[in-house]
Every structure is written in C-alpha cells, then in structure tokens.
C-alpha cells in the first residue's frame, strides 16, 4: 500500500511539474517559469550553495548556475558552459540557461549523461570527445554538481590531464555531496570496473570507453553488488 501511495504521489508531482515552466516568451509565462525553476528544480538552494570548484587549469565544475551566476562566471573569464543534463526537456532550467548564455555571449555545449544509471556508449563517447575538444576556460555542471559533474571531472582528469586514479577519484566524494552508497554510486562503479581492467591489462579509460564499455553489463553488476552488500 505504501509503495502504491509513493507511486501515485510521484505521478501527481510529475504531472504538476510538467504542466508549466516550458515558456518564457511573455512576462506572465516568465514568472511561472521562475516559480518552476525555484520550486521543482530547487534553484533557490543553489543561490547559496554552488558546489563550485576547480578541476584543472581553465576547467571548473558546479551545480546548475542561474543567470546571475553565469554573469559572475563570465567576469571570471569563463567562455564556455558544458551542460551535462541535456536540453530536450525544454523546461525552465534549460530555457533560462540558454537565454543567459546567448545574451552573455557564452558558448553553451551539451553532453548528456546520468546520475543513477550508466549513459549509453554513444553518450559516453560524445562526452569524451567534448572534454577533449571544448574551448577553455569552461565550467561543467549537472543539477547538484555532485554526481554527473563528478564523473565528468574524473574523466577529464584521467583522459585529458593523465592524472593518477587517486587524484581523479577525489572528484567523486562527499566533499561535493556525492554519496557512493546510494544509486548515484553507479558513477563510482563505472570507475571501479575500468580500474580492474586497467590493473589487469593496462587499458586506459578512453580506450576502455571506446572499445569495452557496456552500460547494460555495468547496470547488472552494480545491481548485483547492491544486493550482495544488502545481504
């Protein structure tokens, strides 16, 4: 009964969340989108907490920045914004970011990945390509700046900077509110699976993602590990 209630509440919340916030073309629609941004995307929390940090020279990470923070980033010299959330929803987070970047002259790039499940091979390959070719200085972000931004930072450190595994792993830590014992631990599991192959064969992260990465197998092994730890 409790599970049924949770599912019903989730459906109701989603219905409300998707009923507005997808238009900023008029003053009234913009006001509604601002409410949507702050209530459903928790933007009000990110006014005080940014999860901002330096990853490498000219490379930064944060949670989803609002227009005012994007102005500050431009003043810092940042020229490019890497959105790890994706743009297909067309709701308030994307609308305000796209508008602010356009008005500020910031280059907005999208490379979508996920916090609670493995991205597809194509999505991971796109992210690797983006991290290797993106114009700097840039800031990468997801929603909270904890999980997707953490994984992308790890990949940047390993693939672009050629940092040690221990140094790269620092970007998936409680310091950024990343909690590996939750479903977002799939980000750590990806690194764990690669590291085991690296120790066994010497394969680098980029080559592993290009040639061996299997999101379905990764999802199964992460679920199996969770069941084993719960037993």
Per-residue confidence (pLDDT) for residue 182, from 0 to 100:
95
- Average pLDDT, stretch 203-228? 93
Total domains, the chain? 1
Lowest model confidence (mean pLDDT) among 20-24, 93-97, 183-187: 20-24
In a domain, 15, yes or no: no
In a domain, 21, yes or no: no
Structural domain range at position 121: 26-230
Indicate which CATH number applies to the domain containing 59. 3.90.190.10
Mean pLDDT over the full length of the chain: 92
In a domain, 55, yes or no: yes
- pLDDT tens digits along 22-73: 888 999 999 998 898 888 888 999 999 999 999 999 999 999 999 999 999 9
pTM for the complete prediction? Answer: 0.92
- Average pLDDT, stretch 183-209? 98
Q: What is the dihedral of CA 97, 103, 105, 106, to 10 degrees?
A: -10
In a domain, 1, yes or no: no
Per-residue confidence (pLDDT) for residue 40, from 0 to 100:
87
Lowest model confidence (mean pLDDT) among 10-24, 72-86, 89-103, 149-163: 10-24
Name the more confident of 220 and 17: 220
Of all helices (H) and strands (E), which one includes residue 108? strand 107-110
**In sequence order, which ranges of the chain are alpha helices (DSSP H)?**
2-17, 27-39, 43-46, 67-75, 92-104, 121-133, 148-155, 165-169, 186-201, 205-211, 215-230
In a domain, 19, yes or no: no
Per-residue confidence (pLDDT) for residue 172, from 0 to 100:
98
In a domain, 9, yes or no: no
In a domain, 199, yes or no: yes
The answer for residues whose C-beta is within 8 angstroms of residue 68's C-beta and 6 or more apart is none
d(CA 231, CA 217): 21
**In sequence order, which ranges of 18-66 are alpha helices (DSSP H)?**
27-39, 43-46
d(CA 66, CA 70): 6
In a domain, 124, yes or no: yes
């Amino acid at each position: 009964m409790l599970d049924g209630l949770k599912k019903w509440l989730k459906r109701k919340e989603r219905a409300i969340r998707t009923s507005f916030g997808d238009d900023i073309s008029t003053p009234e629609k913009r006001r509604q989108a601002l409410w949507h941004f702050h209530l459903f995307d928790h933007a009000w929390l990110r006014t005080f907490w940014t999860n901002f940090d330096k990853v490498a020279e000219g490379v930064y990470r944060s949670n989803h920045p609002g227009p005012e923070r994007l102005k500050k980033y431009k003043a810092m010299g940042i020229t490019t914004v890497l959105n790890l959330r994706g743009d297909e929803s067309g709701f308030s987070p994307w609308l305000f970011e796209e508008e602010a970047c356009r008005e500020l002259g910031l280059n907005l790039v999208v490379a979508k990945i996920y916090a609670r499940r493995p991205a597809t091979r194509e999505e991971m390959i796109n992210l690797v390509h983006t991290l290797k070719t993106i114009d700097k200085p840039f800031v990468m972000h997801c929603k909270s700046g904890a999980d997707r931004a953490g994984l992308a930072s790890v990949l940047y450190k390993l693939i672009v900077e050629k940092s040690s595994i221990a140094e790269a792993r620092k970007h998936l830590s409680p310091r950024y509110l990343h909690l590996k014992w939750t479903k977002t631990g799939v980000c750590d599991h990806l690194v764990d699976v690669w590291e085991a192959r690296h120790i066994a064969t010497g394969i680098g992260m980029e080559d592993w993602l290009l040639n061996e990465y299997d999101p379905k197998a990764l999802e199964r092994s992460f679920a199996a590990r969770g069941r084993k730890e719960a037993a």
